[in-house]
Amino acid sequence: MTTDISTIAILPVPFSPDQALIALAVLIPVLLLLILLFISAGVFESIGFRFYQAVLVTAGALFGSLVNIPLIPVGEAIIAVNVGGAVIPLFVTLDLVVRGRVSRPKTLAAIAAVTLVAYMLATPVPGTGITMPFYVAPLAGAAAGLILAGGCHAAPGLAYAGGAMGTLIGADILNLANPAVFAALTGGKAAVLSIGGAGIFDGIFVTGIFAVLLAAYAGRQLRKSAGVCPREGRE
């Protein structure tokens, strides 16, 4: 008598409560990261990048947020530049301008407007860094993009440039250039002050994403209500 034994058997294996918690602890962050990756890739596509470029920029911004490049030693402190929060937003902004997706004068105007707002509302907090309400820069960037583009398709690109670079300059660079603020942040101790850096969900990165989403949505609604965008061909 012979017994046939299946070579492949997939049986439901019950998880213990501890195993289920561990699985959720691993899966939920991974799912959130994938969702953010797809959303942000779509955002970069909307401002003129190809899909593979959008994915590369998004991945670079996410993982680059963990990398700080030492730039200037100031006493015992070091001013560094964050790859994800400073280098990549600068690269994206320059690409938008060089390829003609946004005009240079309007880009500078959007950056200047958000820089002013960010500088006025950013608050240096010793031991923490420079803080600002999360909604301020995206709203300022989206508003600047919409106004300067007249609601046309250039609005998301201008919103990104204004939101990301304006926050970088107004909140980070101008505050770090102030000796009193610099001293308060370091407390006279050895420290690394990162321009554009705040971890994987960096404020500059998130600001650019939300500014584009707000400008794209509001611009679409404006074009629907107006019927056409009279200046679309020149934007």
pLDDT of residue 161: 93
- 11 within a domain of the structure (yes/no): no
User: What's the 3-state SS for 82-94?
Assistant: EHHHHHHHHHHHH
- 89 within a domain of the structure (yes/no): yes
What is d(CA 164, CA 140) in angstroms, rounded to the nearest whole number? 10
Give pLDDT tens digits for 102-119.
999 999 999 999 999 999
Q: Is the pLDDT of residue 206 over 70?
A: yes
Name the residue range of residue 218's domain.
Answer: 19-229
Split into its structural domains, the chain has a count of 1
pLDDT of residue 189: 79
Q: Do 114 and 228 contact (CB within 8 A), yes or no?
A: no
Mean pLDDT, the chain, rounded, equals 80
pLDDT of residue 169: 93
End-to-end CA distance of the chain: 82
DSSP secondary structure, 90-110, as one string = HHHHHHHHHTTSS-HHHHHHH
Instruction: Single out the residue of 190, 209, 193, 192 nearest to residue 201, CA to CA.
Output: 209
Q: Is the pLDDT of residue 188 over 90?
A: no
Instruction: Single out the residue of 110, 107, 84, 87 nearest to residue 97, CA to CA.
Output: 107
Confidence band (pLDDT; 50, 70, 90) for 214? confident
pLDDT of residue 5: 54
For residue 129, count other CB atoms closer than 10 A to its CB.
Answer: 18
| Residue that has been written with the tokens 């002013």 in this structure | 116
- 151 within a domain of the structure (yes/no): yes
Residue of higher predicted confidence among 120 and 15: 120
Give pLDDT tens digits for 144-180.
998 898 767 788 899 999 999 999 999 889 988 888 8
What is d(CA 99, CA 35) in angstroms, rounded to the nearest whole number? 28
